[in-house]
Chains A and B, each alone.
Chain A
């Protein structure tokens, strides 16, 4: 996927001016956080489970080579094939080779964020194979040629009018004057159109929430059932999975299943949790005849052994973005690549480079909410700070920022000068703003005051006031 992350600032301006997006964001924000809170309140052990989840993932990452080899051996024992791919190019080639070998014309797809990393749809189309997204949200995005704006609710930025408009434009075989009275009519039409696709597809591609080393299984967690139809009906099932998805045992997976749905949608358990192990057995009445896993690195090994290794614990629940004030102001597309929100602000620089994605870790208020809801306790604000440091060290930060930081650092290291300067500034601003109590605009601070007013200081610095109170408190 081509990144527009370098244009983050322009993306944000567009997003703030997009009334439809702002309506969807305002509508969704309370429900995302509310559902998780209710689910967590119903499980007293949830906090302890977060520690367990973090520890299992750390154990896996410290032994990742061992668990991947064990898992791959067990996939092969159960008649499946593993395709090891270092890059997105390798993975695209592996998927295409399988599809071409079986003469595939259409390919159904379950929802998978790694497939967005690979831009697999464009690649298949270029080679005459039609990919069909079957997750309801991904389906409409494919009709509209848009990328997802969220990792588990990819089309929540669209309103009902958008769905109706796209369906009328794309489903031209249906009566033009049909009426959509409610959401159910939209759903029913999508269900009917996609059912034809499920039955016609030659290959089904899904992602994987987990890979199980013990059994060589892949696991998908869904609510619609589209992932299961995708992997059950065609003659070939291809799983796309990144290397950090492996967990040792079925019991380890149980712990993550308790964390995942609650953190994501506020469900105790998603509707369909499906373990796939190899291809159809000789006496089975249904299921695919071939089972392949395309195992993808695509930059993740570069994070192992660095301060960013913690990010590889991520189970893609979306709790961080669902609770992020920045995400709910600018929406998912502003982030400009596959992964938005706090997890994207850490992962994207790791995968496509901080030179391209440097704006993302800077777009944070560091309120810490993301870390406090993360089911595997990834220290997201700390990792964003590490990216800011790397950006600064590599001289990617703009000159004005560097100059001002240097100026600030000079004062910060000299307390007397710092107090003197802030006293002058507080007094001056307090004097100038004494009538209105706030500033609509200030020289050199347009970036800040364009969006909001700056309250005028009351003429004193914090230091001065604190010192005075300490004096008054003494008997």
Chain B
């Protein structure tokens, strides 16, 4: 009966009974329409600048980035990153179709174990569903193809992301997600968990001074596949950006 007690106390405070039907209808319409509010201008840049802003924001938040032209270039990009940072070549990897389609045999030193992360994993590789330019944020929804533990347990988290999945602002990513997803268990669109990740783990709890790698990854590395021709135009006068 506590439920009725709390709802009753709210209604007494508001000096009314349960909302009349017409008002409930109005609120249901608001939920169904889920209107956007003010979207900052920096989230609404032209397409090429959005991608540049995303990369810039990832780096501002202490992440690192690499760009590759096609998925076939990913094994080399990852092997190079691991070698440059003196990291182990054993990877826990998300069992995602886009990652499984890659020919990893080009880099035989990389040893991949598909599945969720274990406590002993040093490097975890997952698949980015989408990303937000406004803040440099990766959208990582849980699914059988994208276990949540890969975002958390490794010392190093690597995320493969297609440039065509970068949107300007969070609301646009929600729209993508609403349109593309259906959860069999609940009948809704939300999976068990969606993590929005902006940079590697950190804490300022010791003397208000920022240190990276509190409980989650110390390093966050984004490998971006340039699959979006509209996003590439800005780089015409800067070919180095593709390296």
When the two chains form their complex, are residues A214 and B185 in contact, meaning their CB atoms are under 8 A apart?
Answer: no
Residue from A65, A158, A287 in contact with B19 in the complex, judged by beta carbons closer than 8 Å: A65
Contact segment of B28-36, B104-112, B225-233:
B28-36
When the two chains form their complex, are residues A134 and B215 in contact, meaning their CB atoms are under 8 A apart?
Answer: yes
Contact segment of B71-79, B83-91, B195-203, B235-243:
B195-203
Determine the main DSSP class of B at the interface with A. loop
Chain B neighbourhood of A285, CB < 8 A: 95, 115-116, 144, 147, 149
Residue from B6, B196, B213 in contact with A269 in the complex, judged by beta carbons closer than 8 Å: B196
Chain A neighbourhood of B42, CB < 8 A: 43
Q: Does A117 contact B (CB under 8 A)?
A: no
Chain A neighbourhood of B185, CB < 8 A: 78-79, 278, 281-282
When the two chains form their complex, are residues B195 and A274 in contact, meaning their CB atoms are under 8 A apart?
Answer: yes
User: What is the minimal beta-carbon distance from A56 to any residue of chain B, in angstroms?
Assistant: 7
When the two chains form their complex, are residues A281 and B35 in contact, meaning their CB atoms are under 8 A apart?
Answer: no
Q: Does A434 contact B (CB under 8 A)?
A: no
Taking residues whose C-beta sits less than 8 angstroms from the other chain, chain B's interface range is 35 or more
Q: Does A183 contact B (CB under 8 A)?
A: yes
Chain A neighbourhood of B18, CB < 8 A: 65
Q: Mark B12-29, 1 if CB is under 8 A from A, else 0.
A: 111100110001100100
Residue from A49, A74, A84, A159 in contact with B207 in the complex, judged by beta carbons closer than 8 Å: A159
In the bound complex, what is the Cα–Cα distance between A306 and B95 (angstroms)? 54
Q: Does A5 contact B (CB under 8 A)?
A: no
User: What is the minimal beta-carbon distance from A321 to any residue of chain B, in angstroms?
Assistant: 14
When the two chains form their complex, are residues A214 and B115 in contact, meaning their CB atoms are under 8 A apart?
Answer: no
Q: Does A44 contact B (CB under 8 A)?
A: yes
Chain B neighbourhood of A183, CB < 8 A: 206-207, 209, 211
Chain A neighbourhood of B148, CB < 8 A: 228, 232, 286-287
Residue from B36, B136, B205, B215 in contact with A251 in the complex, judged by beta carbons closer than 8 Å: B36
Q: Does A310 contact B (CB under 8 A)?
A: no
Q: Mark A297-340, 1 if CB is under 8 A from B, else 0.
A: 10001111110010000000000000000000000000000000
Chain B neighbourhood of A345, CB < 8 A: none
Residue from B5, B135, B192 in contact with A277 in the complex, judged by beta carbons closer than 8 Å: B192
Chain B neighbourhood of A184, CB < 8 A: 211
Chain B neighbourhood of A216, CB < 8 A: 188, 190
User: What is the minimal beta-carbon distance from B234 to any residue of chain A, in angstroms?
Assistant: 22
When the two chains form their complex, are residues B192 and A160 in contact, meaning their CB atoms are under 8 A apart?
Answer: no
Within 8 A of A (CB), among B175-221: 183-209, 211, 213-217
Within 8 A of B (CB), among A272-293: 272-287, 291
In the bound complex, what is the Cα–Cα distance between A184 and B37 (angstroms)? 41
Q: A160-B207, A272-B216, A284-B143 are in contact. Are A304 and B37 (CB under 8 A)?
A: no
Of residues A79, A156, A275, A282, which shows the largest number of chain B Cβ atoms within 10 Å of its Cβ? A275
User: What is the minimal beta-carbon distance from A402 to any residue of chain B, in angstroms?
Assistant: 31
When the two chains form their complex, are residues A78 and B186 in contact, meaning their CB atoms are under 8 A apart?
Answer: yes
| Chain B residues within CB distance 8 Å of chain A | 2-3, 5-7, 9-15, 18-19, 23-24, 27, 30-31, 34-38, 40-42, 57, 61, 95, 115-117, 119, 134-137, 142-144, 147-149, 151-153, 169-171, 174, 183-209, 211, 213-217
Given A248-B30, A287-B193, 6 new contacts (CB under 8 A): A77-B188, A136-B215, A249-B34, A272-B198, A287-B192, A305-B12
